[in-house]
Amino acid sequence: MTRKAPAEDPGDARLRVGPPKDYAAGIPAVTSSLRHAGTQMGARRGLLTLLRVNQKDGFDCPGCAWPEPEHRHRAEFCENGAKAVAEEATLRRVTPEFFAGHSLEELAGRSDYWLGQQGRLTHPMYRPAGSDQYRPISWEDAFAVLARELAALDHPDQAAFYTSGRASNEAAFVYQLFVRMLGTNNLPDCSNMCHESSGSALVETIGIGKGSVSLEDLYEAELILVVGQNPGTNHPRMLSALERAKQRGARVIAVNPLPEAGLLRFKNPQRPSGLVGGGAQLADLFLQIRLGGDQALFQAFNRLLLEAEDDAPGSVLDTSFITSHTHGFEALAEHARKTSWEDVLEATGLSEDEIRAAFREVLAAEKIVVCWAMGLTQHRHSVPTIRDVVNFLLLRGNIGRPGAGLCPVRGHSNVQGDRTMGIYEKPGEDFLDALGAEFGFEPPRHHGHDAVETIRAMRDGRVKVFVGLGGNFVAAAPDTEVTEQALRGCRLTVQISTKLNRSHAITGEQALILPCLGRTEADLRPSGPQLVTVEDSMGMVHLSRGRLAPASDHLRSEVEIICGMARATLGARAATSAVPARRVPWEEFEADYDRIRDRIARVIPGFEEFNDRVRRPGGFTLPHPPRDERRFTTATGRANFTVNPLDILRVPEGRLLLQTLRSHDQYNTTIYGLDDRYRGIHQGRRVLFVHEDDLAARGLADGDLVDIVSEYEDGVERRAPGFRTVAFPTPRGCCAAYFPETNVLVPLDSTAAISNTPTSKSVVVRLEPAAGV
Ligand SMILES: Nc1nc2c(c(=O)[nH]1)N[C@H]1C(S)=C(S)[C@@H](COP(=O)(O)OP(=O)(O)OC[C@H]3O[C@@H](n4cnc5c(=O)[nH]c(N)nc54)[C@H](O)[C@@H]3O)O[C@H]1N2
Ligand SMILES: Nc1nc2c(c(=O)[nH]1)N[C@H]1C(S)=C(S)[C@@H](COP(=O)(O)OP(=O)(O)OC[C@H]3O[C@@H](n4cnc5c(=O)[nH]c(N)nc54)[C@H](O)[C@@H]3O)O[C@H]1N2
Ligand SMILES: [Mo]
């Protein structure tokens, strides 16, 4: 399977490659955000909008899920948050006239960058069966199309309802309610492709799938490990927190195959010194690890901890915590002692000296926080890796006390909240009981499809209707060719979206585009302006309120759209259902979101008096038993040590491991621009970062054009043609390229054990000189 570069990709005639930067933010970041805001929004409107980001009476930044410090600076926005806002507040519009002038076939040939640059969707649009074009449709007719196709299914499990992590709590709650009343748990979400491995590992070991630290803990930590994460680009405000922790004496270790700018040095644009000074040195130690080597690293730390305890009994491990709060220590200890240095050095590509130097930092620190993101979650052994991180922290009682803990850094700004609201294909019995009791129906109990299973089910004709609440499923999912075929095989695909993207171009027989308000926009309902709520990466819930005039008069809020879908679809069904549902007041819900929050308060623990508490300054923090009271709601009632066989990613002779990651100028599948400044890339995206010796070993040199060919046990050859090689400081045997261009290379069946997350950070590839060159 080959995926050609889109026609107008610069391809990259204008591509320039310079040296990578060793610091993040500072003056270029500030000028870049203002420039971006200026071109998209008009300079004055741009500045006014940015001033509202994350302010008390403003909207939650749609950029990332990093929490807000309590004392907000006027204008605490970061460069990439500014780009996310500009992208949504753009003055460009995709109107019915636009669709009249562009066939689906033409749109499918365009790049993600081009599609996103066309602007905001303005009208509901419908692609009838047999047509190659969208045409306008009224909202009521659009809902009727959906209701008709859902009613035509043999079973509700033949529909799947995807969610991307920007949906508010209120939208997510009514969405899952609608889907479960329909009769299915097919609620795949972006989390399935993102932090699912973290959730899987944490629920089992500590009883809750969320991180255990607050910002205050981070400031208080003595050692912070930043593992498999590129905060300078993806969570820029985290750099301010790291800087603050360092000022209080914390040490920072970065574990990453790439020397990411933000991990090395940081110039804080919020402070005058950041604009002029040399910037703060962030990482005290940089472990340039091989892809997938982290499990071995933490197993080595665990072995060294046990040995240090042997040398000085009673001084290293937190024996009283282990005795009173954990389960399975003996088995873990026995396993950890057998960890082989040979394996560790092979898996990590590090030297024993480097690991011992890092371990000295570990031993010197009373309070340790481990932060991680996609570098840990998107491998086949991600769940065991994160379990070994938990083992590491448990050994010294580093969970559930100030300054210490687990910090999975979430991606989308409300991805954590959506899961709390019940967007999950494997809901717990307690949740279903509460939901069913509140609304008087019997929710489906059998588990639904996650993202990968949804693709398989569409491919095999078992799912025929696909609905996307935000996101860009076709571009974000693995195995692009397979996913495209899967979606094309549907009877109907529906996208609730703010902006044009590939998922509007690659559709089922029929397709609907339902355009919605974004976070920045005022949501005016008959009862007054509506507020929504979100939950950040550290379990804090707060309000978000948009102020801008909507991009078009025809837009509806996500809540309104979902309630409309529910009314059109469930109206006829309620009477025939075995357990007649109590009438759900969808009209009240869409008229006044307080009424939705009243229900959330009754169904979901931790949301008592939701409407009151969320209106207090700063909102409120959800309970987290391990963090709050060292209580672990696992099967054993304790925090579980786990024994995990070491997995080493070996590749056949002559092959490389490819990681697919984000450039500085993109938000997942939304491409803001064609630069990746910190890595020295300008005006192009089809680049492949490879070690110069690996290039030389293949008779290649920096600047050569290659095809990347992925090899997998299913025997299918997947090819991404025409990438310019860039000699780069990555470990030997490991290479890197941007997603979504390389998603064609990620095999659908190559997923993490247990979490079923695509292995987007370890794809076995070979390089071939580009055909026709
Ligand atoms: N501006 C911007 N912000 C974003 C996003 C965006 O696209 N743009 N996306 C949002 C979302 S949804 C998410 S999930 C987060 C993603 O945030 P990140 O996880 O930071 O995103 P990636 O670009 O995938 O970067 C992965 C990092 O892990 C490293 N890495 C890869 N494999 C390994 C490994 O095996 N071991 C180790 N130790 N390191 C490894 C890579 O070199 C890279 O630095 O960001 C969120 N914020
Ligand atoms: N190869 C590879 N693949 C990956 C990853 C990787 O690292 N490598 N990362 C994975 C990760 S971590 C994630 S989270 C997924 C992301 O997958 P998704 O969440 O599906 O993708 P996004 O690109 O974030 O979605 C962007 C679209 O969302 C819509 N949108 C934006 N704001 C709103 C809003 O407020 N409301 C609504 N309704 N729509 C809105 C716009 O139309 C926009 O085009 O991708 C995954 N895919
Ligand atoms: Mo993500």
Q: What's 334's domain CATH number?
A: 3.40.228.10
Contact (Cβ atoms closer than 8 angstroms) between residue 56 and residue 617: yes
Kindly state the average pLDDT of the residues 476-482. Answer: 98
Percent of the chain's residues with pLDDT above 70: 90
- Mean pLDDT lowest for which of 29-33, 116-120, 180-184, 526-530? 29-33
Using the 3D structure, point to which of 373, 408, 443 is the last residue of a domain. Answer: 408
For residues 463 and 572, state if they share a domain.
Answer: yes
Q: Is 575's pLDDT higher than 50?
A: no
Mean pLDDT, the chain, as a whole number?
92
User: Quick one: pLDDT band at residue 75, thresholds 50, 70, 90?
Assistant: very low
Distance CA(675)–CA(679), nearest Å, equals 9
Q: In the block, which residue shows the tokens 């290649």?
A: 700
Within-domain flag for 120: no
For residue 373, the CA-to-ligand 1 centroid distance in Å is 6
Residue 694 confidence (pLDDT):
98
Using the 3D structure, point to which of 408, 442, 476 is the last residue of a domain. Answer: 408
Residue 52 confidence (pLDDT):
66
Distance CA(562)–CA(171), nearest Å, equals 7
- Name 287's bridge partners: 255
Within-domain flag for 181: yes
Counts of helices then strands in the chain (DSSP H, E): 33, 33
Distance CA(181)–CA(688), nearest Å, equals 47
Q: What is the DSSP letter of 290?
A: P
Q: Is 48's pLDDT higher than 80?
A: no
For residues 383 and 519, state if they share a domain.
Answer: no
- Report which of residues 233 and 281 the model is more confident about: 233
User: Quick one: pLDDT band at residue 335, thresholds 50, 70, 90?
Assistant: very high
166 alpha carbon, closest ligand: 2
Closest to 424 in 3D by CA, of 156, 178, 171, 189: 189
For residues 285 and 330, state if they share a domain.
Answer: yes
For residues 444 and 582, state if they share a domain.
Answer: yes
For ligand 2, whether the C-beta of 117 sits within 6 Å is no
For residues 306 and 380, state if they share a domain.
Answer: yes
Q: Is 654's pLDDT higher than 50?
A: yes
Contact (Cβ atoms closer than 8 angstroms) between residue 661 and residue 739: yes
For residues 373 and 454, state if they share a domain.
Answer: no
Within-domain flag for 438: yes
Atom index in ligand 2 nearest the CA of residue 411 equals 14
Q: What is the DSSP letter of 771?
A: T
User: Quick one: pLDDT band at residue 581, thresholds 50, 70, 90?
Assistant: low
Using the 3D structure, point to which of 374, 391, 408 is the last residue of a domain. Answer: 408
Phi, psi of 131, rounded to the nearest 5 degrees: -100, 155
Atom index in ligand 2 nearest the CA of residue 472 equals 20
For residues 279 and 309, state if they share a domain.
Answer: yes
- Provide the Cα torsion 351, 354, 355, 360; round to 10°: 150
CB atoms within 10 A of CB 544: 21
Residue 43 confidence (pLDDT):
59
Please give, one letter per residue, the 3-state secondary structure of 335-401. Answer: HHHCCCHHHHHHHHCCCHHHHHHHHHHHHHCCCEEEEECHHHHCCCCHHHHHHHHHHHHHHCCCCCC
Residue 327 confidence (pLDDT):
98
For ligand 2, whether the C-beta of 193 sits within 6 Å is yes
Structure tokens at 717: 């050859």
- pLDDT tens-place string over residues 1-29: 777 777 655 456 789 998 887 766 654 56
For ligand 1, whether the C-beta of 289 sits within 6 Å is yes
Kindly state the average pLDDT of the residues 457-469. Answer: 98
For residues 558 and 685, state if they share a domain.
Answer: no
Structure tokens at 767: 């390089």
Structure tokens at 398: 């580093």
pTM of the model: 0.95
- pLDDT tens-place string over residues 194-230: 999 999 999 999 999 999 999 999 999 999 999 999 9
Q: Is 477's pLDDT higher than 50?
A: yes
Question: What's the total number of domains in the chain?
Answer: 3
Of 161, 164, 191, 667, the residue with max ligand 2 atoms within 8 A of its CB, to mutate for a pocket test, comes to: 164
Phi, psi of 717, rounded to the nearest 5 degrees: -100, 120
CB atoms within 10 A of CB 719: 17
Distance CA(719)–CA(710), nearest Å, equals 6
- Mean pLDDT lowest for which of 133-137, 279-283, 287-291, 638-642? 279-283
- Report which of residues 565 and 81 the model is more confident about: 565
Kindly state the average pLDDT of the residues 289-303. Answer: 98
Secondary-structure percent of the chain, ordered helix, strand, coil, rounded to 5 = 40, 20, 45
Residue 34 confidence (pLDDT):
61
Structure tokens at 527: 């009862």
| Nearest CA, atom 17, ligand 2 | 476
For ligand 1, whether the C-beta of 290 sits within 6 Å is no
CATH number at residue 698: 2.40.40.20
For residues 696 and 741, state if they share a domain.
Answer: yes
Within-domain flag for 676: yes
For residue 235, the CA-to-ligand 1 centroid distance in Å is 9
Contact (Cβ atoms closer than 8 angstroms) between residue 207 and residue 634: yes
Residue 275 confidence (pLDDT):
43
Kindly state the average pLDDT of the residues 585-595. Answer: 96
For residue 476, the CA-to-ligand 2 centroid distance in Å is 6
Within-domain flag for 64: no
Closest to 322 in 3D by CA, of 311, 310, 333: 333
Query: Helices (DSSP H) in 183-235: which residue ranges?
Result: 196-206, 215-220, 231-234
Q: Is 573's pLDDT higher than 90?
A: no
Within-domain flag for 532: yes
Cis peptide before 294 (omega within 30 of 0): no
Q: Which residues contact 251 (CB under 8 A, 6 or more apart)?
A: 222, 223, 224, 284, 285, 361, 364, 365
3-state secondary structure at position 528: strand
Kindly state the average pLDDT of the residues 381-385. Answer: 98
For residues 181 and 247, state if they share a domain.
Answer: no
CATH number at residue 475: 3.40.50.740
Residue 27 confidence (pLDDT):
46
Residue range of the domain that includes 278: 196-408
Q: Is 605's pLDDT higher than 50?
A: yes
Q: What is the DSSP letter of 678?
A: G
Within-domain flag for 281: yes
Q: What is the DSSP letter of 677?
A: G
Residue 762 confidence (pLDDT):
98
Q: Is 387's pLDDT higher than 90?
A: yes
